Amino acid sequence: MTKSDREALDTPWAIQQFLSGIPYNPKEECKSPGRVLLEGSAHCFEGALFAASRLRRIGHPPLLVDLRAWNDDDHVIAVFKEDGCWGAVAKSNFTTLQFREPVYRSLRELAMSYFDLYFNTLGEKTLRAYSSVLRLAKFDDRDWMETDEDLEYIGDDFSSLRYHDLVTPGQVERLSPVSGDLMKAGLLRSDPAGLYKPSKGGV
């Protein structure tokens, strides 16, 4: 990516288009935003870190939220506010779990916008909770935006945050399966190597 290309990432949507245009990284690693630029690939967490770093450059604080799943991968999103409402930029192996316009009045509303579209390869709806905001500025002393260091330690910090349930056990028992058409749409252009392998019945 050239300097002019980097400077063109001047809106949340432009950042999303960049992330959507690079390959999904199926490796178990966690590259910094600087390495994402150099290597041209990202998985969910790397994409969220990259998005947060670019949102910071255009005036937003670098913030992440973790969407907690059952029998599936969690999904980390970079969140931002415009006119008092929340939006998100994200990298995902599923087409349905990416950008959200800043029209949601609370983080819970934002998280719920992913609910019906968050499913595993068995067609089970898997989103269960969302975290409080993780503020990345606390890691500035470790140069998280440009370092060659693996950033898995940032993901570990979610364990210190409060999580908020989105559904009750009774609601979970009554969830309907995902339709075949939605499954196909969600998995469009996905990288099979990066897909979570769920267990039948969550066992």
Q: What is the mean pLDDT of each run of 10 residues along the chain (203 residues)?
A: 65 98 97 98 98 98 98 98 98 98 98 98 98 98 98 98 98 98 97 96 67
pLDDT at 8: 84
The separation between CA 142 and the C-alpha centre of its own chain, rounded to angstroms, equals: 22
pLDDT at 5: 53
Is pTM, for the whole model, over 0.85?
A: yes
